[in-house]
């Protein structure tokens, strides 16, 4: 369920501020025009404002959009949606809607996904919310969560949930703006050229945030420069009123912003920037301390988040919140209590001195190396065990990147390396061996279930275990087994 749906508190706040929620509603004939379709069933006067693409999540009054994907066809579930209380459906095939009477709405379109995107853009415009759009190869979800949390100290804020950041997820998120937040913070994801361009057109952001460029989804690109070019699509459509927040520490980002027509705010770690961090002290799993310079002010900041990369994420969020005039003292207080999101660097201290760092949500070479360095700083625990799932979508450099990351395991001071997956996992183990880890301390397993058994036998009191991997490798199961065994 998306944020804001059915949130009576938000609606009460909007009413108290004199906001007319009906401004986001559509008449049925108007919705047909906005979606690029035609009303073929139902009264044109019917009012519609909520949408769903999953019949299982439909609530009374929703419009069901019958999307056709690679593995499913929403037209098969139109009847289920109506039974769940949908008031209408947007379809490509009129025969998907049987006799339902004038109390239900049927709109036929050429393409349901395109219709969803057009409706989302219309809702975005009507909501009057200021939209902050965040992209980057690494850390964009954490940056989104931080930014939304900081802005919420002064504004009513919407954020898109989880990984709803693609050509379907972003429109679904923007549709939730019918409850009229003051600010919407969304992330824009991509795995091929042109995707960010499409998302920017839908979101029409007031503030754009570009965190970094790294070798992620490189299977779709010939070089990291092509990845940077694809990320640079976030600059498209900007006007003199647009704002841009960018990472001054990333030369690929900075090389591509020269033609931006709006206002630019920079952030950087150990780099000259409008908001910068210096004097970093990395305390491993206990977080990082840094001095933050904002204009003429300098203040100490301590974060629970692990890794230097998260300092950059914090700086990006601070830039946005400062531009929105959130008081600096509130920002500092909020950052210092902000905790890692689920499976994104969560630290669990278990029984008998065992500690697990759960970073199993996803993985890529840049994020993995950063996490290895930070966890390796720890000197309290007896042994350091890296349990790593293979990283996907890395293209023709996949094996060499895995070997490099395997070497990084040893260089960071880890005593054991367990890899999960196929050929790439074997390459990761080979890298760890080549960097000096003994054969008895390195192992590879095809699945996380098999790795779980070995890890449970391996772990001793006082161990620190880092678990990280691409989602498809399901390394989260290893974390769950460890927590159950060492609770």
Under CATH, what is the fold of the domain 346-485? 3.90.190
pTM for this prediction: 0.92
Q: Which CATH superfamily does the domain covering 21-109 fall into?
A: MurE/MurF, N-terminal domain (3.40.1390.10)
Under CATH, what is the fold of the domain 128-337? 3.40.1190
Q: Hey, which residues does 466 pair with through a beta bridge?
A: 357, 386
Per-residue tens of pLDDT for the chain, all 487 residues: 223 333 333 443 344 454 555 568 999 999 999 999 999 999 999 999 999 999 999 999 999 999 998 888 999 999 999 999 999 999 999 998 876 666 799 999 999 999 999 999 999 999 999 999 999 999 999 999 999 999 999 999 999 887 789 999 999 999 999 888 999 999 999 999 999 999 999 999 999 999 999 998 888 999 999 999 999 999 999 999 999 999 999 999 999 999 899 999 999 998 899 999 999 999 999 999 999 999 889 999 999 999 999 999 999 999 999 999 999 999 999 999 999 999 999 999 999 999 999 999 999 999 999 999 999 999 999 999 999 999 999 999 999 999 999 999 999 999 999 999 999 999 999 999 999 999 999 999 999 999 999 999 999 999 999 999 999 999 999 999 999 999 9
The burial class, CB within 10 Å (0-12 / 13-18 / 19+), for 1 is exposed
Euclidean distance between CA atoms 184 and 155, whole angstroms:
10
CA 279 to chain centre: 28
In the chain, domain spans: 21-109, 128-337, 346-485
Q: How many CB atoms lie within 10 A of CB 481?
A: 17
């Amino acid at each position: 369920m998306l944020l804001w749906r059915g949130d009576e508190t938000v609606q009460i706040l909007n009413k108290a501020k004199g906001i007319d929620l009906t401004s986001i509603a559509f008449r049925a004939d108007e919705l047909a025009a906005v979606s690029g379709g035609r009303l073929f069933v139902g009264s044109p006067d019917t009012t519609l404002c909520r949408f769903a693409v999953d019949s299982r999540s439909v609530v009374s009054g929703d419009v069901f959009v019958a999307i056709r994907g690679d593995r499913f066809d929403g037209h098969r579930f139109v009847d289920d949606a109506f039974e769940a209380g949908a008031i209408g459906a947007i379809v490509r095939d009129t025969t998907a809607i049987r006799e339902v009477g004038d109390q239900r709405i049927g709109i036929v379109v050429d393409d349901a996904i395109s219709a969803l995107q057009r409706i989302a853009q219309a809702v975005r415009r009507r909501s009057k919310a200021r939209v902050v759009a965040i992209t980057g190869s690494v850390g964009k979800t954490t940056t989104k969560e931080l930014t939304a949390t900081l802005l919420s100290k002064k504004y009513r804020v919407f954020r898109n949930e989880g990984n709803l950041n693609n050509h379907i997820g972003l429109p679904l998120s923007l549709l939730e703006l019918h409850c009229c937040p003051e600010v919407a913070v969304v992330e824009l994801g991509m795995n091929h050229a042109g995707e960010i361009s499409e998302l920017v057109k839908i979101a029409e952001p007031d503030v754009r945030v570009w965190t970094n460029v790294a070798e992620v989804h490189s299977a779709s690109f010939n070089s990291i420069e092509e990845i940077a070019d694809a990320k640079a699509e976030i600059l498209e459509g900007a006007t003199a009123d647009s704002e841009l927040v960018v990472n001054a520490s990333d030369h690929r980002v900075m090389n591509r912003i020269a033609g931006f027509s709006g206002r630019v705010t920079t952030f950087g770690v150990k780099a000259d920037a409008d908001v910068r961090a210096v004097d970093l002290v990395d305390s491993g799993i206990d977080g990082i301390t840094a001095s933050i310079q904002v204009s003429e002010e300098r203040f100490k900041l301590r974060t629970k988040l692990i890794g230097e990369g998260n300092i950059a994420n914090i700086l990006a969020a601070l830039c946005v919140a400062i531009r929105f005039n959130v008081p600096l003292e509130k920002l500092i207080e909020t950052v210092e209590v902000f905790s890692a999101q689920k499976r994104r660097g969560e630290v669990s201290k278990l029984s008998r001195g065992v500690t697990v760092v759960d970073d199993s949500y996803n993985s890529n070479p840049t994020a993995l190396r950063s996490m290895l360095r930070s966890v390796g700083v720890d000197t309290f625990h007896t042994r350091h065990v890296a349990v790593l799932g293979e990283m996907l979508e890395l293209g023709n450099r996949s094996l060499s990147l895995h070997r490099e990351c395997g070497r990084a395991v040893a260089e960071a001071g880890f005593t054991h390396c367990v890899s999960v997956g196929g050929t790439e996992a074997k390459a990761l183990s080979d890298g760890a061996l080549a960097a000096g880890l003994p054969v008895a301390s390195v192992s590879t397993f095809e699945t996380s279930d098999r790795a779980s058994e070995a890890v449970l036998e391996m772990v001793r009191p006082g161990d620190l275990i880092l678990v990280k991997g691409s989602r498809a490798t399901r390394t989260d199961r290893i974390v769950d087994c460890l927590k159950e065994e060492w609770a």
